[in-house]
Structure 1
Amino acid sequence: MAQRKSLESSALVKLNIGGTIFKCYAETLKTFPDSKLARLNDNKKGAFDFKEEEYFFDRDPNLFSYILDSYRKGAIHLPKEICGTTFKAELEFWDVSPRHVASCCWEALYRSEDDKQTMDTLIQRIQQNPNMLLMQEEKLTLRAKLWLFFDEPGSSKLALVWSIFISCVIITSILVDFVSTIEMFREHVSDSQSRLFSKFADTVHMKNITLDRILNMKPCNELLITNVVLHVILTSELVVSFIICEDKTVFKSCVFRHIAFFGYLFYWISLSISLNLVDLDSMYAVIACFIFNYLSIFRYARLFYLTRSVPVFRILRLTFEASKQELKMLVFLLAMLVCVFGYVMFAAEFTQNATITNAFVTVYWALITMTTVGYGDYVPVTAAGHVIAGACAVCGVIVLALPVGIIVSKFYKYYAFYELTMKRPKTIIDSLITAKDGGSKD
């Protein structure tokens, strides 16, 4: 029987990789001592073909050409068009550590891993939508159909029409609130309410200007009735959605629903108190009316809930979740530079600037300057102060631009992958159904 030749006694090594012949010096294969090619003599599983006197491996010859080239160069180089995940698996087969990859090729090696993680995150986020699997069922109960009608605009054309209608109602209610703050759409409260508010103003030592605004804050009857009708629709829609929802955990999982519910509740309480304020005739009723009127602003949270059906806002939320490190860096650098520039400005301006009385004022100035807002309520008057202000403004632009650029690039990547994901919705549905069936069997 023919004996396998020892690598030490052979000048050349013949490698058959997937039908393609490669030849190299035995010494070349020892470049990476821990690799599989450097330990060919230790291979006991018959990789050596005695008839052809060659080592055969059923691998991709195109990828192997880059791996063999790395033995000659002492470092691994790979083109950017190669999938890094596939090449990394090839390195694992040949027992070549990724630490030998040249720094210029790190992006090509690890970019695909980042892309795969991005795609997996997107698919997982899409699959977390319970309505997605519900829409794939052939027979739906009336309750399920109603739930999809109220909660999933993409489930049917009628659901889309209803979603647009509710969106218009929400926007109209906000516009009514805004219009009611215009003087021409307001009217003076009744004499009995005026006396009650005047008594309240005297008790809390309220200024006359503030009292005059309160006495003229009542919206005209047309706006008041319109707002009541709109909130009847919105409150009823929220209550009906809760009743028809089979899985209450799905309904409760949305924080904005909770906030909007309390906002509507406070609105109705505030309206009830204001309509019966004279009959109550109490300072506590006036205080409660003001408090619940301010708390009713929570109903605007419904706007954020509507963004769930808009893909761009979903991607934006996912981008911020994936950019926690960049946001932390932004907050840390901003806080550090605000404190530094604030105190330096305080030291430079304290003796010459009457408007700067303490360091907190200059810290506020530094924050406004670095965020490029620049109200102008505090300005430097000394030459040193102007130099510090210029440096603060420049640093602010740099600090804001660096992490923001990274976040924007992540948003573009997520959005691009989202469009690719939506082109293959059946694959996502099938994987979701498989996962559910597997979980039910367990």
Structure 2
Amino acid sequence: MCTAMDSAVEIDLSGTIFKTKRLTLKAINGSYLSKLNDTVNKYYFDKDPTLFRHILNAHRDGTVHVPRDVCPMLFKKELLFWNIPLSLVAPCCWKYLYEAESDVETFKILLQEENKYDSTNKVDEAQVGIKQTMFAGDSMTDSEVIEDVNENQIGNKRTRASRVWLFLEEPGSSAAAKIWCFFYIFVVILSVVAYIIWLDPSVRVSQYLTKNPKVDALANQTIYEYMVYIFNEKVVLLASTDPHPALLCLDIFCVVFFILEALVHFSMCPDKRNYFLNAYHLLKIFLCISMIISTYFECRKDLLDEHDFRLGEIYHAFKSCYALRLLLIFRLHKIYNGLHIMVLSLRYSVKELLLLGFSFLIAVVVYGCLIFSAEIETDMFPSTQIAMWWSLITMTTIGYGDFYPTTTWGYVVGIVCAINGLIVLALPIAAIASTFSSLYSRNADFQKHMTEVRKQKQILCVEKETLMHCETFEIV
């Protein structure tokens, strides 16, 4: 006698009929099919029959296999619709299923980082369409998607302050903004070159900025050589001479330029609170402060003579920060995708970088203590701090040669330290390189897709205008 569980069930999927036993549908507890009404033997669903074949096989076999001719993200949505647990997905299909999901997450990152401004300040419909496609399965509405894509445009583009902000912040907002960006980078390079040659003897002259200089190092060759003998040439040039007037004017121009740009940039910022959350903006503020302090001491070296030596160290420390101005060149990441991807890969590899630093720190301490113990009977490593310095230099395969093992056990520790250094450095760097490779390759696909979408929209617009023109001609 046929029981209810052995009864046949017909499932119509858009005209394709599937026949199975009700017992098969009950195989996966909690699935959509297991909850169907037992009094009905025929069901209809407006779904893809090709995908349903694999859903039905999952009920028969107890395992889900992802078909290779179907988009993994689409098949995952199908599993969610039929309430099939992801734990039933076979291990052989994990890579295919989640690799596509990783690609989508990468595309979302690229879309969020994509420059949302063009020369006309109009809404980029291509980006809106792509974002609607990416977030189709999320709870975001169409209006929320459009608002998220253009969050920096809404409510600001009619004001003069917002136009100035876009001009300074977004090189892609207009041709003039791009020209300004390149001029800004030119000034950055010029200022760094000025700092590089700042202590070159050929551009140093006798003191003219200090009112009553105590020592003129360049007035007499004997005095100059004597001071170099006591101190060193760099200290003598820095404390007892002044830069050439032309070089000083160039440096003051760069200082004034960066300060004015930072003031205007901050005053035109629409969100002052988030301004200080940007590392690039904080770097500019710090550089402006260091430039003001170092320029003041450059013109008042008599203060450095009257006070203790630590004041001179403070001046030299702030002057050394001039080299950080070269980091301002990363402003180009908003124009060149390659530089932008490199910055992104570092940002999204924080865990790997922390792992690298933590594991490297442990290894430095361990091998520093081991080499100190191995060389305890020699005078090569006077302290554990020097021993840790040696382990750091050895693990990074630099090897200055200022400290080195001299005993048998010291050689053994050195060999193990060098080999372990290669391993510790290689593993996290490989993960960071993988992140960069993924972002770079997906960015190339993203840019190509954006170009094709825009081309298609232009073609459709031309065809629409042509059709309207023909209809107007027929009416006339």
* TM-score of the two chains, using structure 2 as the length reference: 0.72
Please point out which of 359, 383, 408 is paired with 1:333: 359
Q: Does 2:176 correspond to 1:158?
A: yes
CA change 1:355–1:76 in 2 (3 A) is same
Q: In structure 2, how many angstroms separate the alpha carbons of the residues matched to 1:306 and 1:140?
A: 30
Show the counterpart of 1:226.
250
Listed one character per residue, the Cα deviations across residues 234-271 of structure 1 (whole Å, up to 9, x for unaligned) are 33322333344454345444343344334334433433
CA change 1:293–1:386 in 2 (3 A) is closer
Q: Does 2:368 correspond to 1:371?
A: no
Show the counterpart of 2:140.
none
Show the counterpart of 1:215.
236
Q: Does 2:387 correspond to 1:362?
A: yes
CA change 1:209–1:28 in 2 (3 A) is farther
CA change 1:366–1:385 in 2 (3 A) is same
Show the counterpart of 2:12.
16
Please point out which of 398, 405, 411 is paired with 2:430: 405
Question: 1:264, 1:296 within 8 Å by CA — same for their partners in 2?
Answer: no
**SS in structure 1 at match of 2:213:** helix
Deviation for aligned residue 1:161: 1.2
CA change 1:394–1:61 in 2 (3 A) is farther
Deviation for aligned residue 1:159: 1.5
Q: In structure 1, how many angstroms separate the alpha carbons of the residues matched to 2:410 and 2:268?
A: 64
Question: 1:265, 1:296 within 8 Å by CA — same for their partners in 2?
Answer: no
Show the counterpart of 1:295.
318
Question: 1:189, 1:215 within 8 Å by CA — same for their partners in 2?
Answer: no
Listed one character per residue, the Cα deviations across residues 408-427 of structure 1 (whole Å, up to 9, x for unaligned) are 22222223444455554999
Q: In structure 2, how many angstroms separate the alpha carbons of the residues matched to 1:340 and 1:282?
A: 45
Gaps spanning 5+ residues in structure 2: where? 122-149, 218-226, 454-476
Superposition pairs of residues 258-407 of structure 1, within 5 angstroms: 258-278=282-302, 283-284=306-307, 288=311, 290-298=313-321, 300-310=323-333, 311-351=337-377, 353-407=378-432
Question: 2:191, 2:254 within 8 Å by CA — same for their partners in 1?
Answer: yes
Q: In structure 1, how many angstroms separate the alpha carbons of the residues matched to 2:276 and 2:362?
A: 39
Please point out which of 155, 159, 163 is paired with 1:145: 163
Deviation for aligned residue 1:62: 1.8
Deviation for aligned residue 1:169: 0.9
Q: Does 2:82 correspond to 1:57?
A: no
Aligned residues: 405
Deviation for aligned residue 1:319: 2.6
Deviation for aligned residue 1:358: 3.3
Superposition pairs of residues 63-82 of structure 1, within 5 angstroms: 63-80=51-68, 82=70
Question: 2:297, 2:315 within 8 Å by CA — same for their partners in 1?
Answer: no
Q: In structure 1, how many angstroms separate the alpha carbons of the residues matched to 2:153 and 2:18?
A: 55
Question: 2:341, 2:439 within 8 Å by CA — same for their partners in 1?
Answer: yes
Listed one character per residue, the Cα deviations across residues 23-81 of structure 1 (whole Å, up to 9, x for unaligned) are 44555444424433344454x7x6x43xxxxx433222222222223334332221456
Question: 1:7, 1:41 within 8 Å by CA — same for their partners in 2?
Answer: no
CA change 1:426–1:153 in 2 (3 A) is farther
Question: 1:274, 1:289 within 8 Å by CA — same for their partners in 2?
Answer: no
Show the counterpart of 1:95.
83
CA change 1:212–1:372 in 2 (3 A) is closer
Q: In structure 1, how many angstroms separate the alpha carbons of the residues matched to 2:254 and 2:390?
A: 43
Deviation for aligned residue 1:101: 1.0
Deviation for aligned residue 1:158: 1.6
Q: In structure 2, how many angstroms separate the alpha carbons of the residues matched to 1:316 and 1:425?
A: 22
Listed one character per residue, the Cα deviations across residues 188-223 of structure 1 (whole Å, up to 9, x for unaligned) are 5479534499xxxxxxxx995436533323333332
Q: In structure 2, how many angstroms separate the alpha carbons of the residues matched to 1:83 and 1:124?
A: 23
Show the counterpart of 2:223.
none
CA change 1:63–1:79 in 2 (3 A) is same
Deviation for aligned residue 1:141: 3.6
**SS in structure 1 at match of 2:264:** helix
Deviation for aligned residue 1:393: 2.0
Q: In structure 2, how many angstroms separate the alpha carbons of the residues matched to 1:425 and 1:135?
A: 22
CA change 1:354–1:79 in 2 (3 A) is farther
Listed one character per residue, the Cα deviations across residues 276-313 of structure 1 (whole Å, up to 9, x for unaligned) are 444x6862397545523422444555543442441444
Superposition pairs of residues 162-241 of structure 1, within 5 angstroms: 162-189=180-207, 192-195=212-215, 209-210=230-231, 212-217=233-238, 218-241=242-265
Show the counterpart of 1:104.
92
**SS in structure 1 at match of 2:387:** helix
Question: 1:85, 1:113 within 8 Å by CA — same for their partners in 2?
Answer: yes
Deviation for aligned residue 1:15: 3.2
CA change 1:381–1:301 in 2 (3 A) is closer
Question: 1:76, 1:101 within 8 Å by CA — same for their partners in 2?
Answer: yes
Gaps spanning 5+ residues in structure 1: where? 50-54, 198-205, 428-442
Query: Identity of aligned pairs, percent?
Result: 31
Deviation for aligned residue 1:322: 2.5
**SS in structure 2 at match of 1:15:** strand
Choose 365-374 or 237-246, whichever is displaced more.
237-246
The one-letter code matched in structure 1 to 2:248 is L
